[in-house]
A and B are shown apart, each in its own frame.
Chain A
Amino acid sequence: MSALTFTLKQRTDQRVDMSPLVCQKLSGMEPAEIAAIELQNGKSKVRVDSLFKISGSDSHNIQFKNSFGKLDFIGKDLTEGSIHVEGDVGAYLGMGMSAGAIDVFGNTDIYAACEMKGGQLVIDGNAGDFLGAAMVGNKQGMKGGVVIVKGSVGDRAGDHMRRGVMLIEGDTGDYCGSRMVAGTIAVLGKTGRFPGYMMSRGTLLLWTQPQLSASFNDCGAHTLAFLPILLNSFKKYNSRFAEVDTFNRVQRFGGDMAEKGLGEILVKI
């Protein structure tokens, strides 16, 4: 059985809500039924088959081709199966997903992995602002799972993050790990201004020295036995994190002292 493939016929002017096209909702549906699903497109509703050429039938294995930056909510609340996207995607990629896998060969807009609960999300390009953040007004962002970004990410990655692992191979924007409650963000590239801004707990693991705000205290150099274990756990991923040299020496900075102050920024020595 070949992957259920949606190939975009032409780009729309308005944004499209793609949340109905997830594995668990499409399983057991006839091709004609899938074609007849209506998607919200700006103010109007459009049928799936008017936007996409549909082929294949394995709803457990969905592919979107020719995707572009106005397809929002791809993989929303995904609970099983895999979604593979070729091209850019819009906002809220993998929002609230609890299991399964999404990989995107392109860039994402804001709020990818928003309030994600589990599963694995891989972005081959760059991610926009608020990666793994909480929706506006909510108090907890990403609560589990793994996010791997091969490019760079925008501002406020991991805003209100609660649990889970975020692996960023490129650089981050400002306020990386802002208001973090807990969880781990590892960054191979550079970080912008104010990393860990208002974080109460959680860990930022950095390979380059960041520009820290005054409310982080230098706690000295440490040898941390858990670091090799953590780094080894990255070996199973298709990521540069699988190839990094294992180390256990870090400079530890505690903060944000303007908040609870139990968070830490660990910088490889």
Chain B
Amino acid sequence: MLTKLTGGIVYDPANGVNGKQKDIFIKDGRIIKKPGKDARIDKEYNIKGKVVMAGAIDLHTHIGGGKGNIARMLMPENHRIDPVAHTDLTRAGCGHAMPSTFLTGYRYAEMGYTAAFEPAVLPINARQAHMEMGDVPILDKGGYVLMGSDDYLLRMMTANKDQQAINDYVAWTIRAAQGVGIKVVNAGGINAFKFNQRKLDLDEKNSYYNVTPRDILKTLATAVKELGIKHPLHVHGSNLGVPGNIETTLNSIEGVEGLPMHLTHVQFHSYGTEGDFKFSSGAAQIAEAVNKNNNISLDVGQIMFGQTVTASGDNMRQYANHGFASPNKWVCMDIECDAGCGLVPFKYRDQNFVNALQWAIGLEIFLLVDDPWRIFLTTDHPNGAPFTSYPHLIRLLMDKSFRNDMLATLHPEAQKMTTLASIDREYSLEEIAILTRAGAAKITGLVGRGGLADGDFADITVYTENKDREKMFAKPVYVFKDGEMVAKHGKIVKVTWGTTHVVRPEYDKSVEKDLEKYFNRYMTMKVGNFTISDDELTEDGRGSITVHPTVGGKV
């Protein structure tokens, strides 16, 4: 079947197209070259004057893994307020901060998103994470495998194993857990928490393993680079949320010594200690460091006001913040030999000094980082806000007067502590397309996604131009996933199933021998059961796997 989208204004930064009127032809799920005159067009959509972009990609959103289910169980009241009935096409569900898997897929697709990446897949729980993401309709998905606080790695580092051995272990893990990247959360801190350390600075040693977060970051960043994994080491830094953590973040940037590193939800890691309340914005310093260091990319983790739940593997920081739980209930747990998990419900308030300044810091980072290819639009769903707030966030970025109107309603002391009002920058449509499409596809190493070139997968979103960008981005006119229309005017019209993106770096098979011994001795499952086979992701008949190449490696 040949589909034609006629007359749309195309924003495709991946291929250098910026607001050009262009017809798009779709066949068999791919974008194709303009066919010959005699080709029969089966379906034509007249989208004259409408804005066309590739399907959006969220590179950091917690949509799979045990923490989501714990959040759902923890907050039934948050589900009660947001029930969605089933239709002939879609399934029922509920949940505002942490919606059900099905609603997650529908709501993302209705906003024009076609891929989302779960950033904290604990290897030991990877099976559950993939099963859960397997229940997220329409979207493509993938997971970053969480390492850095696992006892096996720390043992290796304590024993001064060489980088090659660690590379093999990292490669084995990412393959076993079917990941597309490596994530590190509070490097070593989650482990240190188990040895009764309640904070861990970048150069502070784990009291049992004698390893510092700086070592771990460097070791893993090197492994990711040497294995040729395209997505840089995905780093949730140390000291999340601590006033003054700007120092830690800047030191981390220095600490990786030029290796590629992605700093995630940087907003939570950009706090200074100035002012009457000893809490200030470090956005300018972060932006300066990022602008200077080409190896660093970041996503913001913008907060939005309202009720949400923070879900994190960083149980050290979640434990420290549990006093702020609103409503007052929380969960903190250990994940065997791997990491931890902490859930703290949170209500961000615009009349709270700290929350208001957090909001401003996030936006400052967005506006002060120059290169749109290295910054990404996230709220760290659900930690800063549910992903459904993205259209609002886009409007804040694209509309200075709206932004300043919002700022004027916040806590007055917070307004004094931010330079936001003096920043004139407004994001253009092209830049939004880079943040949410081209750049995100590039940095996650996706082949054939995030662009609209001939041969690319036909993940396409069509928006009606509207000065109110929130309205524009909330309900695209058409959303195509792999060439099929899945949403129309912000309503699901067809439910499809996306693929799971993975990478498969090469490694020395002998690594399994020692791992087998380790698993038999310490873990609750055998090493053979730990490894997730392809069949497990595909045997339900709707999942599939897409392997992306490593740098210099073969698929």
| A positions within 8 Å CB-CB of B | 135-139
Contact = CB atoms under 8 A, between A and B. Distances in A.
Interface in B357-406: none
A136 B329 CA distance: 13
Contacts of B528: none
Q: Which of A136, A137, A138 gathers the greatest number of chain B CB atoms within 10 Å? A: A137
B59 interface: no
Contacts of B328: 139
A143 to B, nearest CB: 15
15 contacts: A135-B76, A135-B77, A135-B80, A136-B76, A137-B74, A137-B75, A137-B76, A137-B77, A137-B78, A137-B80, A138-B77, A138-B327, A139-B327, A139-B328, A139-B329
B85 to A, nearest CB: 11
A135 B77 CA distance: 8
A136 B327 CA distance: 13
Shortest 4 CB-CB contacts between residues of A and residues of B: A137-B76, A137-B77, A136-B76, A139-B327
A137 B74 CA distance: 7
Nearest to A140: B327
Nearest to A136: B76
Contacts of A136: 76
Nearest to B74: A137
A138 B78 CA distance: 10
A177 B295 CA distance: 59
Contacts of A138: 77, 327
Interface in B317-359: 327-329
Contacts of A139: 327-329
Nearest to B75: A137
A46 to B, nearest CB: 18
A1 B78 CA distance: 44
A139 B77 CA distance: 10
Nearest to A134: B77
A31 to B, nearest CB: 31
Contacts of A137: 74-78, 80
B3 to A, nearest CB: 38
A138 B74 CA distance: 10
A54 to B, nearest CB: 30
A8 B78 CA distance: 35
B73 to A, nearest CB: 9
Contacts of A135: 76-77, 80
Interface in B65-108: 74-78, 80
Nearest to B78: A137
A255 B327 CA distance: 24
A135 B75 CA distance: 11
A135 B327 CA distance: 14
A60 B75 CA distance: 37
A137 B76 CA distance: 5
A72 to B, nearest CB: 15
Nearest to A137: B76
A137 B327 CA distance: 10
Contacts of B329: 139
A138 B75 CA distance: 8
A137 B73 CA distance: 8
B192 to A, nearest CB: 29
B345 to A, nearest CB: 10
A109 B78 CA distance: 25
A128 to B, nearest CB: 19
A127 to B, nearest CB: 23
A137 B328 CA distance: 11
B184 to A, nearest CB: 33
A3 B77 CA distance: 36
Interface in B405-448: none
A260 to B, nearest CB: 13
A44 to B, nearest CB: 13
A246 B327 CA distance: 41
A135 B329 CA distance: 15
A228 B76 CA distance: 42
Nearest to A139: B327
Contacts of B327: 138-139
A163 B304 CA distance: 34
A94 to B, nearest CB: 19
